[in-house]
Structure 1
Amino acid sequence: MHRGIHYSLRPNAAPGYWQYAYAIGGRVRSGRVQARLWLLAVRRVQMRIDRDMRSGSF
């Protein structure tokens, strides 16, 4: 959970990639991030959530 937004993060089949998904205002965002470490992947997803909330794209 980040800023009231629930997100999921799981390893992808390809090493070094992680699948993520979250919803802001009814719009679901999903994709993948590249990171070797789980904590780095978490931070990158949190940065995407922050960017989406700032831009008002929800």
Structure 2
Amino acid sequence: MIYRGVPYSVAPTVEPDVWQWQFQIGDDVKTGKTRTRLGAMAARRVQSKIDAALKLTSTAPVGQHNDGVDAP
């Protein structure tokens, strides 16, 4: 699936009501799990995480990483 130009995936795990997700922005890959009964809700949560990651990426000053440490 693609949200705001960012490919992402959401898949059920063997544990009931737990979904594993992944997305990549540039070279940065984010992964995690979320607990919900509905796949659509899991997808919406990943989309929210993508929005937050894109916001951090767009507000990072030139020459700085998102963690606030100056680039070498």
TM-score for the superposition, normalised by structure 2: 0.74
SS of equivalent to 1:19: strand
Long gaps (5+) in structure 1: none
Deviation at 1:41, TM superposition (A): 0.5
Percent of counterpart pairs with the same letter?
37
SS at 2:3 equivalent: coil
* TM-score of the aligned structures, taking structure 1 as reference length: 0.91
Q: CA deviation at 1:15?
A: 0.6
| Alpha-carbon distance in structure 1 between the residues aligned to 2:56 and 2:8 | 18
Equivalent pairs counted in the alignment come to 57
- Partner residue, 1:43: 44
Runs of 4+ in 1 over 4 A off after TM superposition: none
- RMSD over aligned Cα, in angstroms? 0.9
Q: Give a deviation string over 1:20-44, Cα, whole Å, max 9, x none.
A: 1111121111111111101101100
- Cross-structure match for 1:13: 14
Q: In structure 2, what is the equivalent of residue 31 of structure 1?
A: 32
Question: Rg bigger for which structure?
Answer: 2
Which structure carries more relative contact order (alpha carbon 8 Å, separation 6+)? 1
